[in-house]
Structure 1
């Protein structure tokens, strides 16, 4: 709790001098060592469909707001709508071989208060549990904080254990559970909230950079986990 005193000695939050909000977090191409992040365009649909909508990919869509697209035309319409959205920013992730194999969105963008959520995450199997996937998350977080945002959010269905574990591994702090927060796909959802703040970001950025260093990867296997690097401070 803040020690700052307001009227009648009531405690208030710390001042944020000269705060003017943040620019909209448009994304150009973000190039990493292990992946490439680029804005989603309608022409990505065909390539992404093969990675995200195969016969064994139903589970990729379980916790997303919609079911897996029925066919290429349905997916193309979905991609076009997301690429044209003006209240969110959706990007494509290409792995080290250049294959577009995942999508993520910056959403719930609150420029006035400096808050943005990373969500609508759907990664094909070639990206899951890879260095490229972690680097994509790092590149987007660094982009957001470089624009002056104060808060970076992650939310997920409370039953989505892989998402909960991913948030913790990536350095998001668990903030609590909003019970019966949503109804989607005809079922109730409790939503778990996580965040990273701008004050936490510098140390976390250093940990990411140390983990992503090629010296930390021996034949494709990590020498130290991100959690170990973060714990070492």
Structure 2
């Protein structure tokens, strides 16, 4: 059994703004962010499979969507952030820190709902990197990612981001009247420096010039290990 004589419980996140190269993260504010989020998450150009594996949505009416945003904004765990495109100021998605257990140094990134404008761009990757970085700066020992085991897109994302697959919790939940087996992934504090360096190399101007990506995230991470 390893000893943690120098470790102290993690600090609870407060949703302070975080600036990135492509995006800015701010605490979810339905009054300021709601109009954009309704458009990108429910509008005619929204991702048609966005809500398939989430425990809520889609929303046929704006009033129900606004109530959902208001509940999210009031929550401290999950703690929701809006993702704002720095080039045009549009709010293009939300995600959260959740399962916040400071006494054990454990925290999770989840409740991810990115609009189509974020997908296949550096913005979603940077959002995950910035929250992961915050999680470890607050003193956490473990960053988690969990998803429906049938959600191939989320599982690919976890692996691309550098999370380690840990297995499946069978019959873990009932979501929208269906069984959910949950796939578990994690990054530990020992692994994070190399994972973070890969993110930073991938997000750099050298790798993300105006014409698009040069090397994949996996290739960037392999070069810094």
Q: TM-score range by the shorter chain?
A: over 0.9
Deviations 1:51-72 (A, max 9, x none): 0012554411110011212211
1:70 is matched with 60
For residue 199 of structure 1, give the secondary structure of its aligned residue in structure 2: coil
2:36 is matched with 47
Instruction: Tell me the TM-score normalized by structure 1.
Output: 0.91
Instruction: Tell me the TM-score normalized by structure 2.
Output: 0.94
| Equivalent residue in structure 1 for 2:141, among 125, 145, 150 | 150
Give 1:173 deviation, angstroms: 0.5
Higher Rg of the two aligned structures: 1
Matched, 1:212 2:203: yes
| Equivalent residue in structure 1 for 2:157, among 166, 184, 207 | 166
Task: Give distance in 1, aligned partners of 2:199 and 2:6.
Answer: 30
2:11 is matched with 23
CA RMSD of aligned residues (A): 1.2
For residue 205 of structure 1, give the secondary structure of its aligned residue in structure 2: helix
1:4 is matched with none
For residue 49 of structure 2, give the secondary structure of its aligned residue in structure 1: helix
* Distance of aligned partners of 1:220 and 1:133 in 2 relative to their CA distance in 1, 3 Å threshold: farther
Give 1:160 deviation, angstroms: 0.5
| Equivalent residue in structure 2 for 1:38, among 26, 42, 45 | 26
Pairing 1:74-93 to 2, within 5 Å after superposition: 74-93=64-83
Matched, 1:129 2:120: yes
Q: Identify which range, 216-225 or 154-163, moves more after superposition.
A: 216-225
Deviations 1:82-107 (A, max 9, x none): 00013221000012322101000111
1:115 is matched with 106
Runs of 4+ in 1 over 3 A off after TM superposition: 55-58
Deviations 1:118-176 (A, max 9, x none): 10001000001211111111111111100110000000001111100000000100000
Unaligned runs of 5+ in 2: none
Give 1:47 deviation, angstroms: 1.5
Tell me if the contact between 1:216 and 1:222 (Cα under 8 Å) persists in the aligned partners.
yes
